[in-house]
A and B are shown apart, each in its own frame.
Chain A
Amino acid sequence: MPPPAASSRYPSPSQPSGKSEVTDLKSQLRQLAGSRAPGVDDSKRDLFKKVISYMTIGIDVSSVFGEMVMCSATSDIVLKKMCYLYVGNYAKGNPDLSLLTINFLQRDCKDEDPMIRGLALRSLCSLRVPNLVEYLLGPLGSGLKDNNSYVRTIAVTGVLKLYHISASTCIDAEFPATLKSLMLHDSDAQVVANCLAALQEIWSLEASHSEEACREKESLLSKPLIYYFLNRIKEFNEWAQCLILELAVKYVPSDSNDIFDIMNLLEDRLQHANGAVVLATVKVFLQLTLSMTDVHQQVCAIVSVYERIKSPLLTLVSSGSPEQSYAILSHLHLLVVRAPFIFASDYKHFYCQYNEPSYVKKLKLEMLTAIANESNTYEIVTELCEYAANVDIEIARESIRAVGKIALQQYDVNAIVDRLLQFLEMEKDYVTAETLVLVKDLLRKHPQWSHDCISVVGGISSKNIQEPKAKAALIWMLGEYAQDMSDAPYILENLIENWEEEHSAEVRLHLLTAAMKCFFKRAPETQKALGIALAAGIADFHQDVHDRALFYYRVLQYDVHVAESVVSPPQQAVSAFADTQSSEIKDRIFDEFNSLSVIYQKPSYMFTDKEHRGPFEFSEELGSTSITPEVSSDIVPAQQFEANDKDLLLSTDEKDDNKGLSSNNCSAYTAPYESSNISSQMQELAISGPAASATTTQSSFDFDDLLGLGLSAAPAPTPSPPLLKLNPRASLDPRAFQQKWRQLPISLTQEYSVNPQGIAALTVPQSLIKHMQSHSIHCIASGGQSPNFKFFFFAQKEAEPSDYLTECIINSSSAKAQIKVKADDQSTSQAFATVFETALSKFGMP
């Protein structure tokens, strides 16, 4: 086709109406309409193209409607297509034209060329003229029965379009039933795929007010239908495969044979070059393992699934465009954070490459932080230190933060502290700033390092630090360690003298507190500075600064010792920093694997309205499929608790809704769990029902081989018969637990090591709960995510109603468990702790 003349393609802005051209076109079209001369189609094509290009730039060419339709009485498909484009655009706004168009398209729906039948049908269904829907029924009905598969695929989507124009017309014509029979019997894979897509959409929307649709929707998940699709999955194109895999995700397998059958059927889908197919397959695998009932089998399956999917995902990350890598990497990120130990030896894959976009680098830094453990920390931190000198300042900052996070989650921080201190020697503003903030956090958790850090920090000139966060961190250290830093009072004094120039309220607040702390330690040197600070603070225009200064002033006036105990209480190490995301939210995101939730790291309810939640609204309504692993993996039919569980889960959701908003800017830390805020913590944790009994079957599965840990299974210590007999059927409702926890004092705090098998098995925190239950220690609430898991347990003496309440925090990267025990009968709490330790030591052992 020769290109149209330049003038017609790009009319200059000086002829916005193009009236004369349109009149001209009209007469030319009229001439050609009746002509049967050879080559007439070519001339028509040129004219049509002109008309359409006018239309696209906004010139009104509706006046040639009649001529266009007349000229389209041809078998030339290119002409037809352009004409459909044209009529589709003008028919809607003009009722006279709509009727004309419908007649014209209806005629074409009976054309002998299947291509024209299909195109006309597609155009007809896309007109969206609500009062003319009855004209669609005939053509759609015959389209669905057409002997050409192209027409049928279009007709199926046409039914869906009709449903969106007028749902009642579509249902009354019983199109869904027709689609269902097509889906089961049509020979063309694309027809079948479109039927599935259309039916899923229609029945999901209908389900809210029709029981029948509800049943139909659930029938899509029946075993024969799922196998019907999965057995012939290779006949479908890659996009339809994704659709089928999404359906399979919602299927609840009947037993473990069922699970393994599906996994075997889909195994080769992991080798597909299309990342969407691979991720959809991965999701099916992950969901299937969640529905396993046997704990040991489940742990085994999860570990082997992770091992199996690792390599294909890494290949996808490196083979696609940066955008595609990002999508895959986000999902790997989720898996890595969930099961860091499985990826611990693959850390080099997450090293940043020089030319990667920053959104990829950021994800990789987070992953490196997550998988750092005793064996690879040295290499990872060395690599991260290289990035600290990176040209991209944002990445350099992130890398330093990553080093700090690793330091905070490890017990052996010796080497890392050295590295952090080296950062300070680089004398780059932003490096110093980031490092100061980290050193502060580190000192709060590991005060034993204060000596090394303070000597270096003391050498930093406060003049070189501009960023409020860093300045605040430095000031905090000056106050906290005033006794170790000889010139602390003088640095503070300097800063206080420049009060007026300090723009950040955060810094001024810290300055007040630091001056107070310094005063309690070195009163003579600080008295003057404190006076200035309090005066300036009380005169401060910022409400918080003013209030704090006034409060300090008054409490000092009242009693200096009281002031000291308020402002500068004995130091206490922070054992765990408050997490920004609750485990409930993390589980939600995991359930929404292969969706935007993973990219945004938020569950879908935080960024979509209900109607657009896609496949997930499906699973919520079903209820029986798992919202959280707790519900599905409960072996015991603890029905009396189930309703209760759900209520609790729901109330947690609502709470999270509000929390999600505030948690973003909430960087505050919380002190170690104190009894006063325990109730709110409890609500954040998913409360799992105390199931009655769980007998873990002895499987011959050998965890060591699978993980390649190379450790011989430690001989199970022969437990001396516990002195304390616990009641295997103890019960305590969450509210009573909360109340007791608040009332009782801590009678015992201890730390135990957890064996590597136990840490591995902790991939599924539920398995610990079940394990402890078999030792008559029941879980009432659990939460946290790797590496920190938190559990609340309770137990009851066999003979008398005397309770033991335990908080247990397990850090999987350090393999340590910290427990706090509270007991009605404090004299026996040591005996209980022994029982607890024995039980814990057997966790993960076959």
Chain B
Amino acid sequence: MMISQFFVVSQRGDNIVFRDCKLPFFSLSRSHPLRFETYHRAEVPKGSTETFFRKVKFWKEDGNAEAPPIFNVDGVNYFHVKVVGLYFVATTRVNVSPSLVLELLQRIARVIKDYLGVLNEDSFRKNFVLVYELLDEVIDFGYVQTSSTEVLKSYVFNEPILIAPARLQPIDPAAIFTQGSKRMPGTAVTKSVVANDPGGRRREEIFVDIIEKISVTFSSSGYILTSEIDGTIQMKSYLSGNPEIRLALNEDLNIGRGGASVYDYRSSSGSGVILDDCNFHESVRLDSFDSDRTLSLVPPDGEFPVMNYRMTQEFKPPFHVNTLIEEAGRLKAEVIIKIRAEFPSDVVANTITIQMPLPNYTSRASFELELGAAGQKTDFKETSKMLEWSFKKASLESLSWFAIEHVIVGGAEHTLRAKLTFSQEFHGNITKEAGPVSMTFTIPMYNVSKLQVKYLQIAKNSSSQNPYRWVRYVTQANSYVARI
């Protein structure tokens, strides 16, 4: 027996789903009755859900450190992953493989999302019978049976009750496509893989997203200390008849760097895209990958990563950040942050936030933005001593005829000046007390690795004549830090 219990807990500690895997049926007489109704909190008996939540909530008395994903309380091991603010939890007394359980929890979340379209407390409540039906097929007596939406489809019969996408919060990387440009439909994010469209007919379409998360650390003198791209080619198919798909990548794609150290930048002479390493979904066949860099697969239903890759080859960071701190008298200093977008002008970045911790004894900060800086917001968070500079959506009034949702156009440069006032004299080096500057952003239709899907071929036997194919690129900051 592997897993004893599975449950989902909200951020407030409400128990949303509870399943005892050893006793696959509801059991009200046991100490852990299943609860959906969370209004009568007093009725919820003390049990593993409470133990778990208390432990996570008060991991340290000061609440500073995050609870690790795995911990042991009185011989019971609790595993959890956090997905859109919900804790997916499994418990067991057995010394199991930790990766297996965490991977499973992540997979359960994905399967439920494939069915419900949206993951939140509301969609869970509306579909609880369906969720239990799914869980019964995924885990039987603590052993994992399957986690593939494709396979589950033939065992699961309840139909999802979809909730209005209006109430949805962005939850996964692909969600940015809904806020981004008009070039692509955002439905893939919220559309259930199994439910039919209101019209009764399913739209034949397939989404291939190339999502790259980049991590860059700049030294105080501005050169790159470390850089890495963690990419995923994610697929979501709504094609009927399970046709085979061929996905061609760059022909000059290389994998592995032989014996050389991965941080050896000598090979950056433009000799194609070099991945350090990659892995593939189990449905992917690599028969012709070595010869022509083509992946072939019959995509199962549901969302899944076709390929994950990692790259430390040098690339051009999309933003250049320049920070200056100048002392101005004994109780004052000035911070100047300059950012320059290093990508083509037909590309735009959005949801940009820049943060910088200021010295502990900073009491006030006043900001000065450049002229015409519509849509920029500055803030000094008193308690955390954090400077924040964000580029929010431009208001509609100022751009009445054209709803620009993005905010930094390629090639643009923006500057922020902040005057700091200190409550005490600083001694020593002020740069040791402040920084580093960190940045988050999303750049749709842009990827830094230059890895491309050259073509996406759907085999002829597909029932529909011409399905929609969406190939979308996006670059996101994972850890983008400039030291000062």
Contact = CB atoms under 8 A, between A and B. Distances in A.
Interface string B459-484: 00000000000000000001111010
Contact of A272 (B98, B133, B280): B280
A599 B97 CA distance: 10
Contacts of B280: 271-273
A279 B97 contact: yes
Given A160-B141, A314-B276, A358-B66, 19 more contacts: A9-B125, A56-B26, A84-B25, A85-B25, A190-B146, A239-B145, A278-B279, A279-B99, A315-B279, A318-B310, A321-B81, A353-B215, A353-B478, A359-B65, A394-B64, A596-B72, A596-B77, A600-B72, A612-B95
A327 B94 contact: no
B85 to A, nearest CB: 14
A576 interface: no
B280 to A, nearest CB: 6
B36 A57 contact: yes
A277 to B, nearest CB: 8
B287 interface: no
A386 interface: yes
A614 B95 CA distance: 5
B83 to A, nearest CB: 8
Given A323-B102, A598-B98, A273 B308 contact: yes
B267 interface: no
Contacts of B232: 319
Contact of B256 (A3, A311, A355): A311
Contacts of B305: 273, 319
A485 interface: no
Contacts of B70: 326-327, 596, 599
B261 interface: yes
Give the 8 A-B residue pairs with the shortest CB-CB distance, closest first. A88-B25, A353-B479, A276-B100, A323-B69, A319-B308, A239-B144, A359-B68, A311-B277
B27 A89 contact: yes
Interface string A286-329: 00000000000000000000000001101110111111101110
Given A273-B282, A315-B276, A348-B263, A427 B95 contact: no
Contacts of B215: 353
B321 to A, nearest CB: 13
B146 A237 contact: yes
Interface stretch (A149-157, A441-449, A490-498, A526-534): A149-157
B155 interface: yes
B396 interface: no
A9 to B, nearest CB: 8
Most buried by A among B26, B29, B148, B309: B26
Interface string A41-66: 00000000100110111100000000
B228 interface: yes
A391 B358 CA distance: 10
A466 B242 CA distance: 68
B414 interface: no
Nearest to A615: B95
A811 B409 CA distance: 56
Interface of B: 1, 23-29, 33-37, 39-40, 43, 64-70, 72, 75, 77, 80-82, 93-100, 102-106, 125-126, 128-129, 132-133, 136, 140-141, 143-148, 155, 157-159, 161, 215, 217, 225-226, 228, 230, 232, 256, 259, 261-263, 276-282, 305, 307-310, 357, 384, 427-428, 432-433, 435-436, 438, 478-481, 483
A122 B140 contact: yes
B166 to A, nearest CB: 17
Contacts of B34: 56
Nearest to A91: B25
Most buried by B among A78, A592, A596: A596
A1 B158 contact: yes
Contacts of A323: 69, 80-82, 102, 105-106
Contacts of B278: 271, 315
B217 A351 contact: yes
B223 to A, nearest CB: 14
A607 B72 contact: yes
A651 B312 CA distance: 49
B97 A238 contact: no
B75 A3 contact: no
A129 B307 CA distance: 48
Contacts of B436: 354, 386
Contacts of A53: 36, 128
Contacts of A389: 432-433, 435
Contacts of A327: 69-70, 98-99, 102
A56 B37 contact: yes
Contacts of B103: 274-276, 320, 324
Most buried by B among A82, A154, A599, A708: A599
A92 interface: yes
Contacts of A160: 141
A820 interface: no
24 contacts: A3-B161, A10-B39, A55-B26, A81-B129, A93-B29, A123-B25, A272-B279, A274-B282, A275-B103, A276-B99, A316-B308, A321-B106, A324-B106, A326-B68, A354-B436, A354-B479, A393-B64, A427-B427, A598-B98, A604-B95, A607-B75, A608-B75, A613-B95, A614-B94
A612 B308 contact: no
Contacts of A84: 25
Interface in A591-609: 592, 594-600, 604, 607-609
Interface string A413-457: 000000000000111000000000000000000000000000000
A546 interface: no
A486 to B, nearest CB: 24
Nearest to B355: A354
A604 to B, nearest CB: 5
A311 B100 CA distance: 20
A778 B256 CA distance: 44
Nearest to A93: B29
A386 B483 contact: yes
A328 to B, nearest CB: 6
A312 B279 contact: yes
B65 A595 contact: no
Contacts of B145: 153, 190, 194, 239
A710 to B, nearest CB: 11
Contacts of B261: 345-346
Contacts of A775: none
A242 interface: yes
Contacts of A331: 99
A117 to B, nearest CB: 13
A161 interface: yes
Contact of B310 (A190, A319, A615): A319
Nearest to A323: B69
A392 interface: yes
A14 to B, nearest CB: 11
A729 interface: no
A398 to B, nearest CB: 11
Contact of A318 (B33, B161, B230, B384): B230
A326 B69 contact: yes
A244 to B, nearest CB: 13
B225 to A, nearest CB: 8
Contact of A13 (B25, B39, B100, B133): B39
A503 to B, nearest CB: 18
B25 A194 contact: no
Interface string A71-102: 00000011001101100110011000000000
A82 B308 CA distance: 40
Most buried by B among A10, A55, A349: A349
Contact of A608 (B95, B136, B481): B95
A775 B368 CA distance: 77
Contacts of A279: 97, 99
B94 A608 contact: yes
Contact of B98 (A330, A393, A609, A612): A330
A525 interface: no
